Copies of this chain bind each other. A is one copy, B any other.
């Protein structure tokens, strides 16, 4: 039992280390010895758990996919078919990209040319956003003249943008940035009857963050002081 626990812990440390090294150096440059050193285990232990760098990348991708799945399922469980579930999930996803190295590494692998053709986290996320917008449309929760496909297009593109821009400047992943995005976009996507109930800052603030603001499309402008990112 103790042996199995130790093996699970080693495996976990290797996945964390691999995600960090992939995120920093890219998949091709990452060396197995850098990964095992960072995980604090021997090369032999690495090879006991993972026969190749590709299998290690598969494991990072699978853990990241599970994390994204937990985010979307939990948002759906909490907010049902409301657009609020999508708002909440974008906040959680960007938070994970900022703080969870496995999610960051998993998305990085999706954009790596050496790993093209692997099932992509971006596609998983896109599926869920499209499904959610279809549900919202079916429930009459979208604004007149906006289709689920148009809504999904804007959300999927912007969140992919936050993800890649956030690789250089994490302020793109901040709750504030994502909130301002929704302040602009929600009044155009949501039906009038729902708009007053939707919270751009998300309905489930993490304890460590400031409480959510009520939606107020007329908030005074908040400047992006530097072109390097949305806030400083």
Which residues of A are in contact with B by a Cβ distance under 8 Å?
23-26, 28-29, 108, 111-114, 116, 120, 122-123, 126-127, 130, 137, 144-154, 156-162, 164-165, 167-168, 172, 177, 180-181, 183-185, 187-189, 217-224, 227-228, 230
Q: Tell me the dominant secondary structure on chain A's binding face.
A: helix
Query: By the criterion CB–CB under 8 Å, are A168 and B120 in contact?
Result: yes
Within 8 Å by CB of A223, from B147, B158, B164, lies B147
Instruction: Supply 8 A–B pairs (Cβ within 8 Å), ascending by A.
Output: A26-B113, A28-B28, A126-B227, A147-B223, A153-B177, A154-B184, A154-B185, A157-B159
User: Nearest chain B CB to A35's CB is how many angstroms away?
Assistant: 15
A158 close to B165 (CB less than 8 A): no
Bound together, the chains give a CA A116 to CA B162 distance in angstroms of 17
With known contacts A180-B153, A187-B188, A147–B28 Cβ distance under 8 A: no
